[in-house]
Every structure is written in structure tokens, then in C-alpha cells.
């Protein structure tokens, strides 16, 4: 009797609630907007981590599908009631993914950062692969991963003393090796590792740092402040909701490790797709933040402050960049939390000095504003103070 009630009444109601609740969240105009708390006395100290809410669309997916995920743990594996529940969850995730793609297209269309993350075939570009070898990217992945799984992986790595096996000589080389490019499998660590990854990234980004060529810099398309905040919120929300949904599919076995439920592979693949979209948006935000700096610092070599004779004045673009970074770090952290914001601002300590050195090279070549008037000591002092302001 109870099986009949569950199969004919309870499960259909739960399935309908999951689908309708997800669609209602996705149809809202503010479904992917940041959830900001503007309370006067509710702000935390700057050194405290903030637990930022997901966007409304991701909250609706998480809350609406909760009863069905709980039902999977109670129903007989592979039974008549088990597989329809898995199918409904797959349908919900595919609907969610289709709306994610629309939102990503709306935010990233025609942006330079998004074009560099994909090759002509729409696949992951070499630059995107290099970005994944930076340590901040690994920290971002760990920040949204399941803590139990990380602890188990760390314990397994600490207990294993066996050397790694080399691949057979007859194996087919990877795609990057076939192209003749040197690619590092290990995560770059330390100053030397970060410098190596920067050199690899500059193979693609190098032309955009040629400040003497206005055409290259003018072609850079960056996000507005609102678009960047929405993109960062989307990245945080996708990574958080995918981590929560993946945890719901795991069950602890007798040995103490979590393993996924049976017959849920397509569902797990859909959740992994959401994770990949979240990581892709994080990389997009990091590149766009870098280009925000490049667009502003490219104007320094054309500033009249370099040829000023009466006083030392910092270029307006440097002051603008300083104010932008100060405001962006607070606003982005409030909208998307610490982890994604920290990744977005990572590697600027490398690229800002590089941009300043590019400015010095342009001036040394006699290009920029120096082409019209000679460089003065006040201009040299202005460059020195610009570095101090940005540091």
C-alpha cells in the first residue's frame, strides 16, 4: 500500500515541484544577479571570510531538487521508482545548463577574454590550459571541493610511498606534444614556477601588451562593472551549487569513504558540466580583470605628465586604476566571496610591473608622448610614484 502511495502520489508531486521550482527560479529577471546585503551593521571585518549566497537561480535548483536527491538514498537501487527519479533530475540539470549557456553568452559575447579561452573549434585553448597550472587555480578548485574528499586524498597521498610509473614508450603523445609545445603537467609553485607560466601565457597575450601600437590595445573589449560583478557571481554560484549537488549523490560505505550512487553517471556528468562552466567563468573574470589593468596602463606612455616641467603629477590613468582596484576588490568580494575574487585578482602582482616596464620600454624607444616632447625629470619621478601607488 505504501509503495503504491509513494509511486503514484508522492514521487510525482516531488518531481513536479522540482521541475516547476527550477523553472520559476530561472525565469526570474534577477535570477542570475548577485544577492547583496546592504544592511548598515551587517558587514564583516575585511580579514574575515564571507559566506556569500548563491544567485536565486542556483538557490532554486538546490532547494527544489533536495527532496528528490533524498529520495534516491531511500529507494531501492535500480527499481521501478529509482530510475524515473534519476531521469527527472537529469532533465532538471539539462534545463539548468541550457540557461547557464544563455547567461554566459549574454555576459561574455564579443569580450576579448572569452575569445582567448577557446580556439577556433570552440574547444579549450592552450592559454586556458596554462592558466589551470597556476597555484591560485588549484586553490580555487579546493575552496569549492568536498572537504571529506580532500582530506581522504591528502591522507592517501601522504601514505603512498610508491614511485610514479612512467607511461610506455609506445603511447600516443598528447595533443599539446603533437603541436610541439612544452606543457607542464605539474602545478607551478614558487616564484620560478609562476614566472614560467607567465612566459607561456605571454605567447598568446604578448601582442596585447604592445603599448606603442594603439590598434592592438583599442581592440580589447572588457566588461562593465555590472557585467563583471554578474560574471563573478555566476562563477561562484555554479561552483557552489555543483559542489552541493555532487555531495548529495555520495553515500559513505563501510570503509569510511564516500562513493556515488549507482546508475547516476549521466547525472554526475551534468553536475561536472556545471562545475566546468563555473571554472570557465572564473578564468574569464581573471582575464577580464587583467585587461582592465592593461587598458588603463597603456595610456601612461601617452600622458603629458611624462613631459611636465613645472611639477610632478601622477598620470590620471594610474589614479583611475588605483581607485578601480580599491572599489572592485570590495564590491566583487561582497558579490562572490573571497575565493573567486582572490583568483580574479591573482597574478596582477606580476602583470602590473610588466605593464610599467612596457611603458618604460616605449619611452626608451622614443615613442608615445616622448615623440612630441622630451622626457623630463618630473616625468621620471611620476613613473616612479606610479609604481608606488599601484604597489
Share of the chain above pLDDT 90, in %: 32
Angstrom distance (rounded) from CA 17 to CA 50: 31
Q: How confident is the model at residue 81 (pLDDT cuts 50, 70, 90)?
A: confident
Q: What is the pLDDT of residues 151-201, one digit of tens each?
A: 333 433 444 344 445 555 555 555 444 444 433 456 666 778 888 988 999
Is the pLDDT at 210 greater than 80? The verdict is yes
Q: How confident is the model at residue 41 (pLDDT cuts 50, 70, 90)?
A: very low
Q: Which residue has the higher pLDDT, 171 or 81?
A: 81
Q: Exposed (0-12), middle (13-18) or buried (19+): which is 7, by Cβ within 10 Å?
A: middle
H or E element at residue 236:
helix 225-248
**Could you tell me the pTM of the whole model?**
0.83
Range among 31-45, 88-102, 194-208, 305-319 with highest mean pLDDT value: 88-102
Residue 364: predicted pLDDT: 87
Q: How confident is the model at residue 291 (pLDDT cuts 50, 70, 90)?
A: very high
Given the C-alpha cell 531538487, which residue does it identify? 65
Q: What is the pLDDT of residues 250-286, one digit of tens each?
A: 876 666 556 777 678 889 999 999 999 999 999 999 9
Q: How confident is the model at residue 35 (pLDDT cuts 50, 70, 90)?
A: confident
Are residues 64 and 21 in contact, defined by beta-carbon separation less than 8 angstroms?
A: yes
Question: Which DSSP string corresponds to 27-80?
Answer: HSTTTTS------TT-PPPTTS---PPPPHHHHHHHHHSHHHHHHHHHSPTTST
Is the pLDDT at 92 greater than 60? The verdict is yes
| Chain centroid offset of residue 329 CA | 15
Average pLDDT over residues 353-367: 88
Range among 70-84, 157-171, 177-191, 216-230 with highest mean pLDDT value: 216-230
Are residues 291 and 352 in contact, defined by beta-carbon separation less than 8 angstroms?
A: no
Residue 188: predicted pLDDT: 64
Q: How confident is the model at residue 40 (pLDDT cuts 50, 70, 90)?
A: very low
Which of 23-27, 117-121, 240-244 is predicted least confidently? 117-121
Residue 38: predicted pLDDT: 54
Give the CA-trace dihedral at 278, 55, 344, 40, to 10 degrees: -170
Q: How confident is the model at residue 248 (pLDDT cuts 50, 70, 90)?
A: confident
Angstrom distance (rounded) from CA 83 to CA 300: 62
Angstrom distance (rounded) from CA 96 to CA 274: 9
Amino acid at each position: 500500500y505504501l509503495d503504491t502511495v509513494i509511486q503514484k502520489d508522492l514521487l510525482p508531486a516531488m518531481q513536479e515541484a522540482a521541475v516547476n521550482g527550477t523553472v520559476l527560479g530561472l525565469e526570474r529577471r534577477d535570477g542570475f544577479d548577485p544577492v547583496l546585503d546592504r544592511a548598515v551593521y551587517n558587514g564583516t571585518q575585511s580579514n574575515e571570510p564571507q559566506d556569500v549566497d548563491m544567485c536565486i537561480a542556483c538557490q532554486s535548483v538546490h532547494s527544489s531538487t533536495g527532496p528528490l536527491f533524498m529520495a534516491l538514498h531511500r529507494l531501492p537501487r535500480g527499481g521501478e521508482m529509482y530510475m524515473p527519479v534519476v531521469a527527472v533530475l537529469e532533465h532538471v540539470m539539462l534545463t539548468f545548463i541550457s540557461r547557464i549557456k544563455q547567461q554566459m553568452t549574454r555576459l561574455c559575447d564579443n569580450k576579448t577574454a572569452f575569445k582567448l579561452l577557446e580556439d577556433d573549434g570552440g574547444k579549450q585553448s592552450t592559454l586556458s590550459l596554462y592558466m589551470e597550472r597556476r597555484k591560485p587555480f588549484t586553490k580555487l578548485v579546493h575552496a569549492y571541493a568536498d572537504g571529506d574528499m580532500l582530506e581522504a586524498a591528502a591522507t592517501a597521498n601522504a601514505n603512498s610511498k610508491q614511485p610514479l610509473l612512467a607511461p610506455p614508450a609506445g603511447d600516443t603523445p598528447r595533443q599539446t606534444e603533437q603541436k610541439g609545445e612544452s606543457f607542464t603537467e605539474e602545478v607551478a609553485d614558487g616564484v620560478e614556477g609562476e614566472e614560467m607560466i607567465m612566459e607561456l601565457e605571454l605567447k598568446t597575450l604578448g601582442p596585447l601588451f604592445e603599448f606603442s601600437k594603439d590598434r592592438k590595445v583599442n581592440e580589447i573589449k572588457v566588461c562593465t562593472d555590472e557585467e563583471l560583478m554578474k560574471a563573478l557571481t555566476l562563477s561562484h554560484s555554479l561552483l557552489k551549487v555543483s559542489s552541493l549537488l555532487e555531495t548529495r549523490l555520495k553515500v559513505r560505505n563501510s570503509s569510511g569513504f564516500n562513493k556515488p550512487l549507482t546508475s547516476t553517471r549521466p547525472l554526475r556528468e551534468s553536475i561536472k558540466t556545471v562545475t566546468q562552466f563555473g571554472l570557465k567563468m572564473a578564468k574569464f573574470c581573471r582575464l577580464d580583470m587583467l585587461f582592465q589593468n592593461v587598458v588603463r596602463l597603456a595610456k601612461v606612455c601617452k600622458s603629458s605628465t611624462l613631459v611636465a616641467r613645472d611639477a610632478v603629477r601622477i598620470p590620471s590613468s594610474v589614479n583611475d586604476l588605483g581607485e578601480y582596484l580599491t572599489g572592485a576588490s570590495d564590491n566583487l568580494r561582497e558579490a562572490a566571496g573571497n575565493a573567486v575574487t582572490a583568483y580574479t585578482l591573482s597574478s596582477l602582482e606580476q602583470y602590473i610591473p610588466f605593464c610599467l616596464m612596457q611603458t618604460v620600454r616605449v619611452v626608451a624607444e622614443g615613442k608615445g608622448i616622448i615623440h612630441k616632447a622630451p622626457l623630463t625629470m618630473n616625468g621620471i619621478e611620476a613613473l616612479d610614484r606610479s609604481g608606488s601607488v599601484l604597489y
